[in-house]
Structure 1
Amino acid sequence: MSATHGKFIWCELMTPDMKAATKFYGDVVGWTTSSMNVEGMPPYTIFEASGAGVAGLMDFPAELEGKGIPPNWTGYVAVDDVDQSAKDFAANGGSIRRPPEDIPSVGRFAVVADPHGAVICIMTPFPMDNPPPEAPANAPGQVGWHELYAGNGEEAFAFYSKLFGWTKDHDFDMGEMGAYRIFAEHGTPVGGMMTKPPNVPMPAWAYYFNVAGVDSAIERVKAGGGQILNGPMEVPGGSWIVQAMDPQGAFFCLVAPAK
């Protein structure tokens, strides 16, 4: 495995209203935007922090309408060989939801799911002549944490550690809710996973975007027509989190170093 295999590299929102979502997340997270026009591909908006892209935004695909899939955020994980990794997902009990294909000038990607149905994207990026400098994971506007509500936390960790090389950093005892497994990518803690509580309808990944303060962010979420579902809550290490839903129905989370 290379030094980038298993690394989260992108986050993407599928929404029924790109214009409204662009304004909402710009106000809440502080992102600026640019457009990416690729021949043969639908319109795509880039969310930027400190002048570099961190996430993307696209129209909710017509082929997914009526299938019970809400607007949603999906993460992309870099892999050395996306075709092989897609096969590995299927061979180890997961599934291929969209076979590997190229995005011109960007990379080759696939949509896959783990054995319990949590969906994620994998990508082998094409080489870049001048890659932008990588911002610190805790910088404002970056994706600061990646969280899996798993069908079974232990089984999920075994699956992802095999396919992505993730390792256990430590477990946090959540009492009746069980263990919260902090996992690391090449030695750096980047996320957590746990067996989903009964009120979470299906196994799924969630993504936390960095903001400066959680209370002011909550007010921006409400002012923009979003809903606060959980929090604010202090988590081990002193950060504050909130879980929310945007006006179009996509679940997202915020994390801040201060309340």
Structure 2
Amino acid sequence: MPKPCPVVHFEMPYRDAARAAKFYEAAFGWQTQKMGSDMGDYVLLETTETKDSRPTTPGEINGGLFPYKEDYPSQVPLVVISVEGIDAAIERVTQAGGRVFGEPAELPGIGRYVAFQDCEGNGAAMLQPQM
């Protein structure tokens, strides 16, 4: 049995990046940072105080927005779970009855990331942080 893996991030799809960023800034005071096309047009959401892009308060997490795409496996909010070894975690997810979507993507300066679906059809993702 692996040690517990914490939820470290959340993600939600958007259809209009500027509109979504403006909403979360106005509704909750979150800071947003639009990433370029080289980062998949991702929008970072800073929901809490950070240092070096990491939350400073234990238990608090930040998130992001990703473009809605018809062919993407999940168009619903996702939690992102930190894992020490993504290859071993993929094996555990598969053996437990889940389905992994593709191969892990290398996110520059962040780590290896892959989305999956649990045995109940819920979407989530795993991240092996870059050390």
> CA 1:253/1:202 → structure 2, altered by over 3 Å: closer, same or farther?
closer
Q: Distance in 2 between matches of 1:202 and 1:142?
A: 21
CA distance in 1, matches of 2:78, 2:112: 16
In structure 1, the partner of 2:126 is 254
For the aligned residue pairs, the C-alpha RMSD in angstroms reads 2.4
Counterparts of 1:97-246 in structure 2 under 5 Å? 141-168=5-32, 170-174=33-37, 179-188=41-50, 189=53, 190-200=62-72, 204-246=76-118
CA distance in 2, matches of 1:155, 1:174: 18
Q: Considering only CA atoms, is the larger Rg found in Structure 1 or Structure 2?
A: 1
Determine helix, strand or coil for the equivalent of 1:198.
coil
Q: Percent identity?
A: 28
Give, in whole Å, the separation in 2 of the partners of 1:239 and 1:178.
Answer: 15
- Most deviating of 184-193 and 212-221: 184-193
Matched pairs, number? 120
Corresponding letter in the other structure for 2:7:
V
1:152 Cα deviation (Å)? 1.7
Paired amino acid for 2:41: A
Q: Verify the 8 A CA contact 2:69 2:75 in the aligned structure 1.
A: no
Q: TM-score, normalization: structure 2?
A: 0.77
Q: Which amino acid aligns with 1:157?
A: A
Q: What amino acid is the match of 1:144?
A: V
Instruction: Give the counterpart letter for 2:10 in structure 1.
Output: H
Relative distance call for 1:233 and 1:200 in structure 2 (3 A) is: closer
- The aligned residue for residue 56 of structure 2 is none
Alignment of 1:54-69 (within 5 A): none
- Deviation above 4 Å: which 4+ runs of structure 1? 200-203
Structure 2: gaps spanning 5 or more residues = 54-61
Superposed, which structure 2 residues align to 1:71-110 within 5 Å?
none
The 1-side partners of 2:30 and 2:66 are apart by 15
Partner of 2:77, secondary structure, is strand
Shift, 1:219, TM fit: 0.8
Quote the Cα distance in structure 2 between the aligned partners of 1:233 and 1:207: 17
Structure 1 residues 155 and 201 mapped into 2: Cα distance closer, same or farther (>3 Å)?
A: farther
Q: CA–CA distance in 2 between the matches of 1:240 and 1:201?
A: 18
TM-score by length of 1: 0.42
